[in-house]
Amino acid sequence: MEITRARLIYNPTSGREEVKRRLAAILQRLERGGIETSCHATEQEGDAIRAASEAVERGFDMVISAGGDGTLNEVVNGMSVHANRPALGILPLGTTNDFARAHGIPRRWEDACDLLIRRYTVPVDVGQANNRYFINIAGGGSMTELTYEVPSKLKTMVGQLAYYMKGLEKITSLHPTRMKITAEGIGEFDEEFMLFLIANSNSVAGFDRLAPNASTSDGLFDVLALRKCNLAEFIRLATMVMRGEPILDDPHVMHFLCSKIHVETDSRVQLNLDGEFGGTLPCTFAVLPSHLQVIVDEHGESSYRHGTGNVSSIANANGHNGNGNGRGTP
Q: Do 158 and 16 form a contact (C-beta atoms < 8 A)?
A: no
CA distance 90 to 159: 19
Question: Annotated catalytic, 276?
Answer: yes
Q: Is the predicted pLDDT of residue 313 greater than 60, yes or no?
A: no
From the CB of residue 269, how many other CB atoms can be counted at a distance below 10 Å? 23
CA distance 23 to 20: 5
- Domain 132-289, classified CATH 2.60.200.40, yes or no: yes
* Mean pLDDT of the 225-238 span: 91
Q: Which pLDDT tens digit goes with each residue over 272-302?
A: 999 888 999 999 999 999 999 999 988 765 5
Active-site position among 18, 74, 145, 276: 276
Q: Do 42 and 11 form a contact (C-beta atoms < 8 A)?
A: yes
Q: Which pLDDT tens digit goes with each residue over 89-128?
A: 999 998 778 899 888 899 999 999 999 999 999 999 999 9
Specify the pLDDT at position 239.
87
Specify the pLDDT at position 218.
97
Q: Do 16 and 152 form a contact (C-beta atoms < 8 A)?
A: no
DSSP designation for 322: S
Q: Is the predicted pLDDT of residue 267 greater than 50, yes or no?
A: yes
Q: Is the predicted pLDDT of residue 310 greater than 70, yes or no?
A: no
* Mean pLDDT of the 81-92 span: 98
- CATH code, residues 4-124+290-317: 3.40.50.10330
CA distance 137 to 275: 8
Specify the pLDDT at position 305.
47
Q: Is the predicted pLDDT of residue 315 greater than 50, yes or no?
A: no
Q: Do 116 and 26 form a contact (C-beta atoms < 8 A)?
A: no
Q: Is the predicted pLDDT of residue 328 greater than 60, yes or no?
A: no
Cβ burial 165-187 (10 Å sphere, 16+ → b, else e): ebeeeeeeebebbebbbbbeebe
Q: Which pLDDT tens digit goes with each residue over 249-259?
A: 999 999 999 99
Which residues contact residue 232 at a Cβ distance below 8 angstroms, ignoring those fewer than 6 apart? none
* Mean pLDDT of the 159-180 span: 65
Q: Is the predicted pLDDT of residue 307 greater than 50, yes or no?
A: no
Mean pLDDT, the chain, integer:
85
Specify the pLDDT at position 117.
97
Task: State the Cα angle at 39 between 1 and 317, rounded to 5°.
Answer: 75
Strand partners, 187: 183
What is the percentage of the chain residues whose pLDDT exceeds 90? Answer: 65
Specify the pLDDT at position 304.
59
Q: Do 275 and 150 form a contact (C-beta atoms < 8 A)?
A: no
Q: Which pLDDT tens digit goes with each residue over 178-220?
A: 999 999 999 999 999 999 999 999 888 777 778 999 999 999 9
Specify the pLDDT at position 151.
53
- Tell me how far the alpha carbon of residue 147 is from its chain's centroid: 12
Q: Is the predicted pLDDT of residue 161 greater than 80, yes or no?
A: no
What are the C-alpha distances in Å from 125 to residues 16, 33, 73, 305?
30, 28, 13, 24
Specify the pLDDT at position 162.
44
Alpha helix (H) residue ranges in the chain: 14-32, 47-57, 69-80, 98-102, 109-118, 146-149, 152-158, 161-170, 231-242, 311-317
Select the more confidently predicted residue: 69 or 51. Answer: 51
Domain residue spans in the chain?
A: 4-124+290-317, 132-289
Identity at 304, one-letter amino acid code: Y
Model confidence at 71, in pLDDT bands (50, 70, 90)? very high
* Mean pLDDT of the 6-29 span: 92
Specify the pLDDT at position 7.
98
Specify the pLDDT at position 158.
47
Specify the pLDDT at position 309.
33
